[in-house]
Structure 1
């Protein structure tokens, strides 16, 4: 492919995003809403989003933080075993899906599901299946950290078999086993992050420890990264971009017992463009970062075109607002693509 000097991305979507709340929301919200048309927002606040009142109030706070931009926050509910059919029917039109967290597996998931037995989950899953509400899952066990996602594969299979009409999204997949599972069941889909397309565990801990690349699920082996990258570059029709951009203040990252999360929102589109160009796959980038999600979630979007230009961009060392701050991936480094215009 001939070298390009500009590239357009239409209606980009981030189908897995953490915006937090209060001043952190005001800091990081616009860093996504500026360049994306919409994002699927995680519900793991403290306390988690489990009521219609909390859901609508959070959505309003997001809209206020992102008021300058053409941006739709697609909010989600935190999974509980005992949601009634009536409750879910009433909230259905206000949510894009329900997010299931195994208890204690990641940030603010302490009140998540204690048992992944399908029969324990059945009351809520059955209602979701009947109502057409998608299920988004953080798919990890509490086993050895490198095997947690692989060990979760039978659970995905069990839910997919028992509820064939339930749309299931394997969130932020990191393994070749997850890629292989995508094609096995019609009702399984997945998101993948930018950082898992780029890094392996060696980048996190192979030399000096890099806390800003520590995340959950943890980065895996080179063969896993290759499987993810190959699927993304081909814009596998069941795979969507979901940054899992997860902001934490600098002091909670650069410390003993650092928080898990990589903050990529401000550089996601630029680095994806660089990555797809490097592999001669730019013709598939719009499908990966927008069209697949529009089709899978049946979304209708306002027109929004992001024009990128081949011009070096120095990533800020830190983003700050009042008493909040966050260090992005590639902080202080130069990347070859910049945002030229947003229309």
Structure 2
């Protein structure tokens, strides 16, 4: 392909961490430049466990939008609830009726950032909630990793699929499930083998890098995320799935900002901040795979269709324009190191 620009229907980010307070003000601007909508994760320090908290959080996001410079014609935060062992089916019904909550997020207890309130026993404690989700067709978004120190960190996704998702699917055959931030060949193969009720998001970092980058020249905490980056064979398999045009795979950055102090210490937080150049990363991936014609499906259509949302009417143009990713981004007392800092990209919004 030899062109100076690409225009696609404006994409949706179907897995995004906006955080709160100054961090929200800081990262929202990068999102709205590239995405018309975003599925907003609920794992704040005080998790979004009910409809009232989701409404309040959405209002915070809408207020933050007012402070963003530039012409923002449209941006819609698609809210989610944080599933706990105490969540009720009535709360799920209230969430649906609110009109602003579009999914429920399952974090296995202590598996990732702010997951200490996550589910301990899904089948024992959440069956009624799962039944309600199946009835109302609200997606269950799954951080698919077991939290078991006996399981190797590189195997936790595949073990979770075997132990939890396969039995879950047998019990709830029409429950809409999104396996978030898919990172393994086993995960891709499971989605391929599944019905249209199963889908998956794929991040830029899991398609751009293999696990060697974490240890290249020393320990590099800004490439540490969960699920952790996998081997080159897994990376290549993910790229093939994402660029295939298969409607069950769609864009979800899992962009997860942390201040540099939380990343560069003796026990760093998991997460990569990709929102700064998210679409440029995906264009790079699809162009190098020779599948640029499938980018719009992956970025703009597949996610909206799975969530039964209308496709966006806005468009986004990405230009071939060589640019270097900044080493740091600063706002007030925050400093964030973006994904691919110091690297040169060939595309820019």
Question: Which of the five TM-score ranges fits, normalised by the shorter chain?
Answer: over 0.9
Cα distance, 1:301 vs structure 2? 4.7
- Distance in 2 (CA, whole Å) between partners of 1:64 and 1:302 is 22
The equivalent of 2:94 in structure 1 is 90
The equivalent of 1:202 in structure 2 is 212
Aligned pair count? Answer: 337
| Cα distance per residue 1:30-55 (max 9 Å; x no partner) | 11012111111100011100122210
Large movers: runs of 4+ above 4 Å = none
The equivalent of 1:48 in structure 2 is 47
8 A contact 1:81–1:122 mirrored in 2 = no
The equivalent of 1:337 in structure 2 is 347
In structure 2, the CA distance between the partners of 1:121 and 1:251, relative to structure 1 (3 Å rule), is: same
8 A contact 1:88–1:128 mirrored in 2 = yes
The equivalent of 2:262 in structure 1 is 252
- Distance in 1 (CA, whole Å) between partners of 2:63 and 2:34 is 17
The equivalent of 2:176 in structure 1 is 167
The equivalent of 1:107 in structure 2 is 113
> 1:120 is matched with which residue: 125, 131, 134?
125
Question: Which structure 2 residues correspond to residues 1-343 of structure 1 after superposition, within 5 A?
Answer: 2-67=1-66, 68=68, 69=72, 70-92=74-96, 93-116=99-122, 118-142=123-147, 143-154=151-162, 155-186=164-195, 187-339=197-349
8 A contact 1:16–1:40 mirrored in 2 = yes
- Distance in 1 (CA, whole Å) between partners of 2:129 and 2:22 is 33
Cα distance, 1:206 vs structure 2? 4.6
Comparing 320-329 and 237-246, the one that deviates more: 320-329
Aligned-partner SS, 1:89 = helix
- Distance in 1 (CA, whole Å) between partners of 2:101 and 2:133 is 12
Q: TM-score, normalised by structure 1?
A: 0.95
- Distance in 2 (CA, whole Å) between partners of 1:225 and 1:113 is 29
Show structure 2 runs of 5+ residues with no match. none
Output the aligned Cα RMSD. Answer: 1.4
Cα distance, 1:239 vs structure 2? 0.6
8 A contact 1:160–1:185 mirrored in 2 = no
Cα distance, 1:166 vs structure 2? 0.7
Q: TM-score, normalised by structure 2?
A: 0.93
Show structure 1 runs of 5+ residues with no match. none
Aligned-partner SS, 2:302 = helix
Cα distance, 1:148 vs structure 2? 0.5
- Distance in 2 (CA, whole Å) between partners of 1:324 and 1:57 is 24
